[in-house]
Structure formats: C-alpha cells, structure tokens
Amino acid sequence: MAATAATHLQSDEAPTSLLSATMLVGPATVFVAAGLLVPLAILFRYSFNSFEPRRMMVETFTLGNYVKFFADPYYTGVLWTTLRVAALCTLACLVMALPLAYVLARTQSRFKNVLIMLVVLPLFVGNAVRAAGWMVLFGSRGFLNVTLMQFGAINEPLQIMFTEGAVVAGIIAVNLPYMVLTLQSVIEGINRNVEEAAFSLGAGPATMFRRVLLPLSLPGILAGTILTFILGMNAYATPVLLGGPKFKMMGPLVYGQFQLNNWPFGASAAFILMTATLGLTATANILIQRRFRR
Amino acid sequence: MTQSTSRRDVLLGAAALAGAAGLPRAASADTKGRIVVGTWGGDYARLLNKNVEAPILIKDGWEVVQDQAGDPERRSKMLAEVRLPRGTSDVQGLSALNMFQMQDAGTVLPIDYGKLKNAANLIPSMKYPYGVGHIYSGKVGVYNPKLITTAPVSYKDVFDPKHGNKLGIIDIQYQYTMVCAALAAGGKVNDLEPGKKLLLECKNAGMRIYPTNEAFAQGLKAEEFGIGVMWKARVVQWQNAGIPVTAVAPSEGTLAYISGFVIPKNAPNKDGGYAYLDAMLEKSAQEAFAVDMGYNPTVTNAVVAPDLNQRIGFTPEEIKKLVDLDYDYMNKNDVEFKDWWDKVLKS
C-alpha cells in the first residue's frame, strides 16, 4: 500500500519536476549552447583548416597549425611568457589580497561597506582606460619619472613602459579586486571562534593562520586563484598597451593572427591557450581539493 | 474581472508594440533607402559624416548608418559574410592594399564607373577595377631639426644606422616601413630582402619601435627620437599640434598611401553604395577633406589653396615619382613579412 502510494506520488510529481527543471535550466543552456559552444565548435573545426594567402582559409583536415605552434620556439616562448606572467600575477594577487580580505572580513567598522566599495571601485573602469592611466604614470615624461627627476633621484627617465614589469603591475591592478572579494566572502564564513580557540590553545598568529585560517579558506583561495589565473592568461589590453611592440602574450598573438586573416592558425592558438588554461586550472583544482580533504 | 483586465492590458500592449514597430518604417518611408558604410572610427568617420553624408547624401534623402571598426575587424566580417546572399554593409573603407586583398578573396563587386557621374574627374590611378580611391598621401621622411642637424633627403638618409636610437619606426606600419627600408637599401617594391637587412642593421644600432602612430607622435614630442617615416597628412596634423617636425619627400620617390571604398558583392543596397562613392568624389567633399584631414583629393576638379597644397601636397615632379605598393606581392607575402617582423626584427 505504502509502495503504491509512493509510486503514485512519483508518477504524479515526475512530469511537473521535469518540466520545472527544463524551464529552469533551458534558457541558460540554450543561450550558452548557441552563444558559446556552437562558435567554439566552428572555431575548433577551423583550426584544422589550412591558410593560403590568396584563398585565406582552405577547407581540409590537418594538424599543421598545431605542429607549427609547438615546433616554433617563438610561439612556445609566447605561451611560456603568458604562463609566467599569469602565475606571477596570481601569486602576487594572493599575497596582497589575503591580509586585505582578512581585515575586510573581520572589521566591525561602520565603514565596512565603504571599504568594500573602494575595493570594487577599479572594476567600474575598463581595462584599457586603466592601462591608459598606467601609461601616464609610467611614461618617460610620466608622473613617476618626472617626480623622481624633480627630487634628483635619477638623471635619466627610467624605462618602465614597454617592459614585463609594467604588464605585471597592470594585470595585478586589474585582478586584485576579484581575489580580495572572493577571499573576503569565504573568510567571513569562517567562525571567529575557531581562531580564538587556536589562540587559547597557545597558537601564535602565524600558527593560527597556517593551521586554521589557511585550510579553512582554501576553497576561497582556490576560487580566487582560478579566477585571477584565467584573467591573467587571457589578458589583452594591458599587454598591448603597457607591454609595447616587443612583449607578446597569447591574447594579442591570437588577435594578431585574425588581423592577418590567418583564421586557422589563430583558431589553433586560441585552442592551445584555452587547453593550457583549462588543464592548469583543473590540475590545481584537483591538487588543492586533495589537500583540502586531508 | 481580473482576467478581462489582463486581456485588455495584453491587447493594449500588443497594439503599442505594433505601433512602435511601425514607426521606423514610417520614418524610413520618406528616405531613398539606407546606406550602411563600414569605416574607421575617429576623425575619418566624423569627417565622412561632416563632408559627405550630412551635406550630400542625407540632404538628398538617404539614411546613412556608419559601422565603425578597425579595418582588420571589418575585413574579417566581409570574409565571414562572403557566403551569405545579403551582407550587412553597402560600402567599406579600406586602404588600397586591403581593397586588393578583399578583391582577391572574392568579396567585392567590380565597379561600374558608368554609374558614377564624378568618375570623369577621378585621377586615372585612383580608378581600381574593384574600388575607388578616396584620398591619398605619401610616406615622407620626418625629422626634428633640433635632434637631426643634417636634413635627410631620402629614405636612405632616414634608415641610416648612424642615427642609432634617434631613429623610430611604428609596429602597426610594418608593411610600409619594410617597403621604405627596401627602397632605401636599393631594393624594389617587389623585393624587400635588402630592406630587411637594413632594418636589422638599424635595430642593432638601437632603432626604437613604437606600437602605434600615437605613441610614435608622443616619442617625437618627448624628443626620445628625432627621425622616421610617416604619412605627410599625419605630419601636418602633428605640426598643427605643436610637434616640432619637418617633412621631406624622399628622392627615391614617395611611397603612396591610398584610402578608398569598395562595394561588397552581397551589399543589400548596391545603388546606395554607388551613391556613396559618387558623393565622396564630389568637389566640395574632396576639398573639405584636404582642409580638415590633410589628405590630397583624388579628383582633378578639386581646388586646394596654394598654401595648403604646399603643406599637404606634392610637386608635379614628386607626383610623377610616387611609388605604389606591389599589391599582389604584398598580399602573397604578408603573413611571411609579419612573421619576420615579429620573430626577427622585434626579437
């Protein structure tokens, strides 16, 4: 009897649940499939075509573009530069964001919302505009050089623009708010009592951070790291404007190939960038999850 | 009760929507039709509107919509749309090299000059079978007399390794820079190898590479370097902005830059496309472009004031010696040239 009732209930509810689930998931799925997956699939197919200057793209199936990328030290060098810059920026963001996020999460100040708004404020300005600001600051006749020369600290302007350092500084400035906000929300969810328990058991601030706060905030660190790493890998405006003509990262490289109408090679470079980003992100995720479980 | 109100609201809403949908049609019913023009943004777009669209086409009853973007993006769009029966633009502004490239890719309509009343005034070299030259200038030597005391007279004088880091070039102008260097090294427009060698010598001597025209201008202004090559029209704009530069037409012949318009094969409004081409060749529009932008007219009936002509134009001897790119050679080798530029020169 009970079994019959359960069956009846299931058969009664199933169509409605299915319909609701479809209604809830459907619009976003259709949007993602049409707006992201279909163009990606087309681009993936293009990456196996070949390029001829007169005919632009020739329909065929070849691994030539991928072979060209990995066989040429120039392109692999660009990929390594991108990985190095993205990793460096992610690490710097993490180190700078942790204390800031901790203070924001734990503060009882009535200005807490204002402080959070100050962190978010740079996101109100586009990347290119922010990079333009850095150009004014870093230029040979920029604010920094002029100030240093006024005070007699230097005689000749420092070459800051068009260097990797300028790009790293620019990307950190873009990505830092994402890391701070992610960490702050996770640290806020950690009960203050567990920190006090650690202190009462004799742990110093460093030990408490290492043994309590860090493991508990690992999900936030993971999310923030993934977010900033992906943004760093795909940076475009900052490397172009602050890195100058000799500095190359993958984003500008991909765009440059499309400018030359070499869509097949541009598509293959885009997929190499995407695969490297996804692969490293997934690996980091698995490694940190394992440690977190322990 | 609730139901009937709701239905009435729905009907009212539907009627309002239908009315709103009809409005643009009603407005456009008075026009000759819509012309969608692909163009660069900035000054070019503004001046097309000021000198071609507003006083001629819109006044004549056309509706003109600008699709502003860089030429690589617009060329990509033309290529992506090539298989469609109806494209999204009626005319596209491109450099002469890019016009050839798009023609080579089979995306543009052959021009029927019989449909252009102003075609009779066009300089013959501006009549391409696949596009129409709109304005032109030339790649001249530019130098700051304060930093470069001996005035250059040729590309050879400009691309001289003795200038060291006082020589500057522009990254995005790799094609024209390589051709200028080739002419300096005794090469030809269809043989850039001597130019590559010379550029490497200049690079080893300290030549500076700037990413864009604007960064190049800033470098000149800040006196980071003192010599290079640039479009004469742009030099005039810099002089107007107070940048201390002087232009010289090189003795090898000035490399010409021609900006023109093509009609895509699948343009929805081809008649509108022809109307646009004709309007941009009008005497008044051409003269206004010379004044506002510093580029030379491509029609013979346009009159440029002598003092302006001295600054933007070329003497009859210089015009005779204008050098054009070998479009086919450049198109075939463009990817290879860019590879060399990125991997060897900029490494």
Strand partners for B255: B139, B323
| Strand runs labelled E in B185-271 | 208-210, 227-231, 246-248, 255-262
Closest residue in A to B209 (Cα) is A245
Quickly list DSSP for B28-58. HTTSSEEEEEEE-SHHHHHHHIIIIIIIIII
Q: Is B316 helix (H, G, I), strand (E, B) or coil?
A: helix
> How many CA atoms does the CB half-sphere of B191 hold within 13 Å?
6
Q: Distance from B72 to chain A by nearest Cα, in Å?
A: 5
Mean pLDDT of A106-118: 92
Q: Is residue A55 very low, low, confident or very high in pLDDT (cuts 50, 70, 90)?
A: confident
Q: Are residues B178 and B264 in the same domain?
A: no
Domains and CATH numbers, chain A: 74-293 (1.10.3720.10)
Residue-level pLDDT at B2: 40
Q: Are residues B150 and B118 in the same domain?
A: no
Q: Are residues B166 and B232 in the same domain?
A: yes
Q: Are residues B213 and B291 in the same domain?
A: no
CA distances (Å), origin B231, targets A117, A162, A201, B323: 47, 25, 75, 13
Of A256, A268, A266, the C-alpha closest to A63 is: A268
Chain B residues with CB inside 8 Å of A55's CB? 105
Q: What is the pLDDT of residues A265-280, one digit of tens each?
A: 999 999 999 999 999 9
Pairwise CB contact (< 8 Å): B222 & A74: no
User: What is the Cα–Cα distance from B91 to B107, expressed in whole angstroms?
Assistant: 12
Residue at B195 is within a domain: yes
Does residue B331 contact residue A56 with C-beta atoms inside 8 Å?
Answer: no
Chain A residues with CB inside 8 Å of B345's CB? none
- Strand duo B33-39 + B91-95: pairing: parallel
Q: Is B341 helix (H, G, I), strand (E, B) or coil?
A: helix
Does residue B247 contact residue B315 with C-beta atoms inside 8 Å?
Answer: no
Strand partners for A52: A56
Residue-level pLDDT at B8: 61
Tokens linked to B44: 């070019």
Q: Which of A54, A74, A258 sits opposite B76 (nearest CB)?
A: A258
Q: Choose the mutation target among A56, A141, A167 for the interface with B, i.e. most B CBs under 10 Å.
A: A56
Chain B residues with CB inside 8 Å of A247's CB? none
Tokens linked to B95: 């450099």
Tokens linked to B101: 């490239």
Task: Check if A110 contacts B (Cβ < 8 Å).
Answer: no
Cα Rg, chain B, nearest whole Å: 24
Residue at B55 is within a domain: yes
Strand partners for B261: B93, B132
- Residues contacting A147, CB < 8 A, separation 6+: none
Q: Is residue A290 very low, low, confident or very high in pLDDT (cuts 50, 70, 90)?
A: confident
Q: What is the pLDDT of residues B136-162, one digit of tens each?
A: 999 999 999 999 999 999 999 999 999
Tokens linked to B77: 């769009």
The rounded mean pLDDT for chain B is 90
User: What is the Cα–Cα distance from B295 to A136, expressed in whole angstroms?
Assistant: 31
Residue at B4 is within a domain: no
Q: What is the extent of the structural domain holding B288?
A: 12-18+22-136+258-314
Of A230, A261, A215, the C-alpha closest to A82 is: A230
CA distances (Å), origin B172, targets A92, A97, B105, B294: 32, 37, 22, 21
Pairwise CB contact (< 8 Å): B211 & A240: yes
Chain B residues with CB inside 8 Å of A244's CB? 209-211
CA triplet B118, B100, B49: central angle to 5 degrees? 45
- Residues contacting B334, CB < 8 A, separation 6+: A53, A260, B101, B175
Residue at B145 is within a domain: yes
Chain B residues with CB inside 8 Å of A266's CB? none
Does A112 or B9 have the greater pLDDT score? A112
Closest residue in B to A265 (Cα) is B335
Q: Are residues B227 and B330 in the same domain?
A: yes
The pTM for the full model equals: 0.80
CA distances (Å), origin B103, targets B75, B93, B100, B263: 11, 13, 5, 10
Q: Are residues B195 and B338 in the same domain?
A: yes
For residue B25, pLDDT beyond 70: no
Of B51, B120, B49, B92, the C-alpha closest to B290 is: B51
Does residue A139 contact residue B221 with C-beta atoms inside 8 Å?
Answer: no
> How many CA atoms does the CB half-sphere of B188 hold within 13 Å?
5
CATH of the domain at B308: 3.40.190.10
Quickly list DSSP for chain A. -HHHHHHHHHHHHHHHHHHHHHHHHHHHHHHHIIIIIHHHHHHHHHTTSEEETTTEEE----SHHHHHHHH-HHHHHHHHHHHHHHHHHHHHHHHHHHHHHHHHHH---TTHHHHHHHHHGGGGS-HHHHHHHHHHHHSTTSHHHHHHHHTTS-SS----TTSHHHHHHHHHHHHHHHHHHHHHHHHHTS-HHHHHHHHHTT--HHHHIIIIIHHHTHHHHHHHHHHHHHHHHT--HHHHHHHTTT---HHHHHHHHHHTT-HHHHHHHHHHHHHHHHHHHHHHHHHHHHHHH-
Q: What is the pLDDT of residues B244-299, one digit of tens each?
A: 899 999 999 999 999 999 999 999 999 999 999 999 999 999 999 999 999 999 99
Q: Are residues B219 and B334 in the same domain?
A: yes
Q: Are residues B246 and B334 in the same domain?
A: yes
For residue B20, pLDDT beyond 60: no
Residue at B293 is within a domain: yes
Task: Check if A53 contacts B (Cβ < 8 Å).
Answer: yes
Q: In one letter, which amino acid is A211?
A: R
Pairwise CB contact (< 8 Å): B75 & A261: yes
Pairwise CB contact (< 8 Å): A256 & B104: no
User: What was the ipTM of the complex prediction?
Assistant: 0.74
For residue A292, pLDDT beyond 70: no
User: What is the Cα–Cα distance from B141 to A182, expressed in whole angstroms?
Assistant: 54
Q: In one letter, which amino acid is B26?
A: A
Pairwise CB contact (< 8 Å): A245 & B343: no
For residue A143, pLDDT beyond 70: yes
Chain A residues with CB inside 8 Å of B342's CB? 74, 248, 256
In the numeric block, the tokens 């643009």 are attached to B24
Q: Are residues B204 and B329 in the same domain?
A: yes
Tokens linked to B10: 């729905």
Q: Is residue A2 very low, low, confident or very high in pLDDT (cuts 50, 70, 90)?
A: very low
Q: Distance from B12 to chain A by nearest Cα, in Å?
A: 28
Q: Are residues B222 and B84 in the same domain?
A: no
Residue-level pLDDT at A293: 65
Task: Check if A258 contacts B (Cβ < 8 Å).
Answer: yes
Chain B residues with CB inside 8 Å of A143's CB? none
Residue at B319 is within a domain: no
- Strand duo B296-297 + B208-210: pairing: unpaired
Tally of domains within chain B: 2
Quickly list DSSP for A114-142. HHHHHHHGGGGS-HHHHHHHHHHHHSTTS
CA triplet A131, A136, A142: central angle to 5 degrees? 145
Does residue A75 contact residue A256 with C-beta atoms inside 8 Å?
Answer: no
CA distances (Å), origin B311, targets B235, B247, B249: 9, 9, 11
Of A141, A169, A135, the C-alpha closest to A154 is: A141
Residue at B7 is within a domain: no
Q: What is the pLDDT of residues A12-43, one digit of tens each?
A: 555 567 778 888 888 888 988 888 899 999 99
Pairwise CB contact (< 8 Å): A261 & B76: yes
Residue at B1 is within a domain: no
Pairwise CB contact (< 8 Å): A51 & B335: yes
Tokens linked to A198: 């650690």
H or E segment to which residue B18 belongs: helix B2-28
Does residue B178 contact residue B191 with C-beta atoms inside 8 Å?
Answer: no
Q: Is residue B73 very low, low, confident or very high in pLDDT (cuts 50, 70, 90)?
A: confident
Instruction: Show which residues on chain B lie within 8 Å of chain A, measured between beta carbons.
Output: 72, 75-76, 79, 101, 104-105, 171, 209-211, 218, 222, 224, 331-335, 338, 342-343, 346-347
Q: Are residues B106 and B209 in the same domain?
A: no
CA triplet B121, B126, B132: central angle to 5 degrees? 90
Residue-level pLDDT at B23: 44
Q: Distance from A81 to chain B by nearest Cα, in Å?
A: 13
Q: Are residues B93 and B186 in the same domain?
A: no
- Residues contacting B46, CB < 8 A, separation 6+: none
Q: Which of A54, A139, A245 sits opposite B209 (nearest CB)?
A: A245
Chain B residues with CB inside 8 Å of A262's CB? 335
**Main-chain phi, psi angles of B88, to 5 degrees:** -115, 0
The b-or-e profile of A172-193 (16+ CB within 10 A means b, else e) is bbbbbbbbbbbbbebbeebeee
